[in-house]
């Protein structure tokens, strides 16, 4: 077994357990991303870590209230940025695989009260998909042991990362509902890699809301 980042051989103990879990991928001690799980008080709307339990500035500005709330697993620190860059821009599909267990647990901790939940990953545009060949939101959703339904499609837009906050808030909704889909009855949790301004998630929630879904939450890897 080799480290997913630097490819040095990992000295793993061969035990009965390790034989059981075949193909377990991991990072070496040096490359292990120093992620911080969000704990303590958070913004009730967007799930950002806050000194007190009140809405953050961004969320106070927001008027529409379609999304019930967002919850995220990790602080969006440098290590987390690097890890997501490895996955999204270096196209390393398995960069997040070592976190699988933690992501699943993190989801359950936030949303175990929801019954009959359906995961909806935020889609990629076809152009981006052809470049990356996988959708990181689908990848994260697939790590959570709940039914997943890709309900949405996306028009091609410029990269969000190159836009200012103002520009992002002003953009038109790039999402639209897939045709011929039977909408699930229970609550929906949108899945994405990172919640920055929340525009993406709120756009997606809007589309689902107009389609007649009442209970919409979201879960992202980082905030």
Partner 1 sequence: MLKKLDQSIRTLNQQIDRNIMRGHASMKSRSQQMIQLFKHHQPVLTSIRENDRRNNRPSHQSSDILLNKEPVVHEEVTQDDTYLLLDGLLVTKDRLSSLKVKGDQWNVAVNVDTFPAITQKYVFKRCERCLNEDSTLFLFFPCGKCHKTDWYCLNCLTYGRITTCQTLYHLRVPARKIKSLETGFQFTSTLTPHQQQASDRLAKAIKTGERHLLIHAVCGAGKTEMLFHGINDALKSGKRVAVATPRQDVIKELLPRFQAVFTSVQIVCQYGGSDDNSKQAWLTLCTTHQLIRYKAAFDVLIIDEVDAFPYHHDQSLIKQSKRALKGTGTFIYLSATPRQALVKKRYPTCFVPVRYHGHPLPVPEAYFTRFKNTPLPRNIKEAIIHQRENNRQLLLFVATIKQANTLLPYLQTTFKNLTIEAVHASSDERKQHIDQFRLTTIDVLVTTTILERGVTFPSVDVFVLQADHDVFDEAALVQIAGRAGRSKNDPTGSVHFYFETYTKAIRKAIKAIKQMNALGEKL
> Applying CB under 5 A, which residues contact Zn ion?
3, 5-6, 28, 31, 43, 45-46, 48, 56, 59
Residues 10-29 that bind partner 1 (CB under 8 A): 25
> Least distance (Å) from Zn ion to the CB of residue 129?
22
The one of Zn ion, partner 1, none whose footprint includes residue 192, by CB under 5 to 8 A per kind, is none
Site for partner 1 in 131-170 (CB under 8 A): 132-135
* Four-residue CA torsion sign, 78, 83, 87, 91: positive
For residues 148 and 121, the answer to whether their CB atoms sit within 8 Å is: yes
Assign 196 to helix, strand or coil.
coil
Residue 208 engages partner 1 in binding (rule: CB under 8 A): no
| Nearest distance, CB of residue 133 and partner 1, angstroms | 5
Show the tokens assigned to 199. 């525009």
Phi and psi torsions of 220, nearest 5°: -125, 160
93 binds partner 1, rule: CB under 8 A: yes
Examine residue 55 and tell whether it contacts partner 1 (CB under 8 A): no
Count of residues interacting with partner 1 (CB under 8 A)? 17
Q: How far is CA 41 from CA 45, 46, 77, 206, in A?
A: 12, 12, 18, 27
Question: Quick one: 7 or 183, whose CB is closer to partner 1?
Answer: 7
Concatenating the DSSP letter of every residue in 31-45 gives TS----B--S-B-TT
């Amino acid at each position: 077994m080799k480290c997913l980042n630097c490819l040095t051989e990992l000295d793993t103990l061969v035990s009965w357990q390790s034989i059981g879990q075949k193909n377990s991928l991991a990072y070496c001690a040096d490359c292990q991303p120093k992620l911080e799980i969000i704990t303590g008080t958070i913004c009730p709307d967007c799930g950002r870590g806050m000194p007190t339990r009140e809405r953050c500035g961004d969320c106070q500005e927001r008027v529409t209230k379609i999304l019930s709330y967002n919850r995220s697993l990790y602080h969006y620190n440098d290590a987390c940025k690097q890890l997501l860059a490895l996955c999204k821009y270096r196209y390393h599909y398995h960069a997040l695989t070592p976190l699988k267990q933690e992501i699943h647990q993190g989801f359950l901790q936030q949303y175990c009260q929801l019954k009959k939940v359906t995961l909806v990953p935020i889609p990629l545009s076809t152009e981006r998909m052809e470049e990356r060949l996988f959708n990181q939101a689908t990848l994260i959703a697939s790590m959570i042991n709940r039914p997943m339904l890709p309900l949405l499609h996306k028009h091609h837009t410029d990269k969000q990362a190159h836009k200012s906050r103002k520009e992002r808030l002003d953009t038109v909704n790039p999402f639209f509902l897939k045709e011929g889909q039977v909408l699930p009855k229970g609550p929906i949790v949108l899945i994405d890699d990172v919640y920055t301004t929340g525009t993406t998630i709120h756009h997606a929630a809007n589309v689902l809301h107009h389609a007649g879904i009442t209970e919409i939450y979201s879960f992202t890897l980082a905030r």
